[in-house]
Amino acid sequence: MGALTAHATRDGRRNRCSKGSRFKDRARLGRWQRRPRRCLCGQRGRRPEQPRRPALPTPCSLLLAPGIVILLTLYYFLGFGFAGFAASWVLLRFISQAPRWRRLSRRTSQLHHGGSSGVPRFGGVALAAAFVAAAVGAWLHSQGEPPHESATLALILASLAMFAVGLVDDVRPLGAKKKLMLQMLVGVLAFYGGLGFDTFRNPITGSDHVLGLLGLPATLLWLVGMTNLVNFIDGIDGLAGGICLMLMGLLVYIGWGAHDFAFLVASGMGGALLAFLRYNFPPARVHMGDGGAYLLGFLIAGLSIVNSHKGSVLAALLAPMFALGLPIADTGVTLLRRALAGLPLFRADRFHTHHRLIRHGFTRRRAVLSLYGISVPCLLLAFSIYVAQERMVPLLFGRFADITEAVTGSMNLRKESRYALVLVQWLELEAERCSSVQELWQNFGFLAGKFGFASVKLKLEDGEQLWQSGLVPFKNGDLRRCRHEVSLPYPTELEFTVEEDEMRERPFVHLAELAAEGWVKAASRWHQLTGIAVRFDADTTLIRRRSIRRKAEFPQEPAAVEQREAV
């Protein structure tokens, strides 16, 4: 049966079928014949179909759909978090108890780390294993999420490469320049692998600008900067792990609904960091090491870039920066202070915020909890910035008092630092020629005199020795004191004093820290060459015989001997 095609007449009525026949007049038909309508040719007519209105959702359906999404999200969040927690817990338990890891963790100097000696530094191995498990699971679940499949793959491979750089440094320390070159190489490979910045959005106008050639330097600055930032704050047990756990919570929130891979990986690493803090919170049984710090720093930077591909670019990058507000401010002031003092930028010291808190009487646990309390408002600010989606103007904050203090007298301190570093290097080389600890101590007294100290007291296991300068008269009550507890395989303590009128507080603390570092390097070098513990009553008869035999085989010129005695 064909459908009727209505044709409008002058009076607007529909009176013809598809074959052109007229409809029967309704007035001539009986009541029982008015439905269905028929035309003169006998064809049955049908009414045109009306579009159906969409059914209104019921209250149950309105509550059920978001509930299912939330339950599925919670299921994946808890599943990946538990997997990361389990993988990290098992490996950390093995690392903390295996003696081989302790032997590999022995470093020549641990002056600047706020942890005890002999603690394994390979907590990053457990974090890397948890990352591999979370990344593989997230990759299989999200299938790479095209078109950003290359970015996620580059993130996985580059994070493992950065972890390898830190792990090698944990086993065999690398120089600062070599580590920086390797980090930049990993960043370049990640950029050309698809993990990088392509555009920049102006927060005022909302327009996007193509970076072009500036994309590579911007990516390197972000990746390498974040990597070293986490490594800088790893100076006291539990600090870097706790702050990175807060960052993972932020990245979970940013990745929820924006990028499944970033959401799942951040969930897994959050569980891994919970297990790690169980072993790293003071007193620590496992240290993160450079491997773990490099992995977490690079991963935080990489996940921020991945999240920015599917959302607000500036908000996804500003949120982690504000969450790391305290470490960024501390690191910026530290780098500026080192540059003004003439010290290497990547040289470790004990003038970070956590070191200052400990010197003011805080315990390590209390110092870490205090820094957590300062970081929580920064984290809440980061959440608000991301929720506002770039509508909140970034707050400028800093530590202007420290910057002003660092600028004052910077040129003089820079010259003194260069002179002190040369003397420290001389002491380390002179340790190879010393036949006893007493001779090494005498050389250290020469260094202390050049630094301008009034006295230096050294405490070892078998006693203590005091060096005093005959040029500076003592006045009771007018002395500045600075004490360093050195973390070596043997208990060591150094206490420096200086006249208040001879040296100000800031340069005195700075030179005392350099002198303590020089003693640590020289004593470690002497212990490494002789195999004898650094004690005042150590049996050094065999060393003296070797020294006499070496002097007999390689006699010095009389002029050189006289010059050395004069010095």
pLDDT tens for 218-231 read 889 989 988 988 88
pLDDT tens for 194-219 read 888 777 666 555 566 677 788 888 88
* The two structure tokens encoding residue 420: 């002190």
Q: How many residues does the chain have?
A: 567
What's the confidence (pLDDT) of residue 518? 87
**Residue 77: partners with Cβ closer than 8 Å, 6 or more residues away:** 252, 263, 267
DSSP 3-state assignment of 67? helix
User: What Å distances lie between residue 256 and 81, 158, 307, CA to CA?
Assistant: 14, 23, 10
What's the confidence (pLDDT) of residue 294? 92
Backbone angles phi, psi at 463, to 5 degrees: 150, -165
Angle formed at CA 267 by CA 264 and CA 273, multiple of 5 degrees: 140
DSSP state of 117: T
What's the confidence (pLDDT) of residue 402? 53
What's the confidence (pLDDT) of residue 311? 46
What's the confidence (pLDDT) of residue 68? 62
What's the confidence (pLDDT) of residue 132? 92
What's the confidence (pLDDT) of residue 407? 56
What's the confidence (pLDDT) of residue 160? 93
CATH classification (class only), 413-540: alpha beta
Ramachandran class of 212: left when φ > 0, alpha when ψ lies in -120 to 50, beta otherwise: left
**Residue 415: partners with Cβ closer than 8 Å, 6 or more residues away:** 342
Q: Where in the chain is the domain with CATH 3.30.450?
A: 413-540
DSSP state of 32: G
Q: Which of 116, 91, 134, 317 shows the shortest CA–CA distance to 225?
A: 317
User: What Å distances lie between residue 469 and 171, 396, 437, 439, 480, CA to CA?
Assistant: 40, 48, 20, 17, 15
- Residue by residue, DSSP assigns 150-193 as HHHHHHHHHHHHHHHHHHHHHHSPPPHHHHHHHHHHHHHHHHHT
DSSP state of 555: P
Backbone angles phi, psi at 497, to 5 degrees: -135, 155
What's the confidence (pLDDT) of residue 8? 40
For the chain, residues with pLDDT lower than 70 are 1-72, 98-118, 143-148, 200-209, 257-259, 309-317, 341-351, 387-412, 470-477, 487-490, 538-567
> Dihedral through CA 436, CA 442, CA 446, CA 449, nearest 10?
140
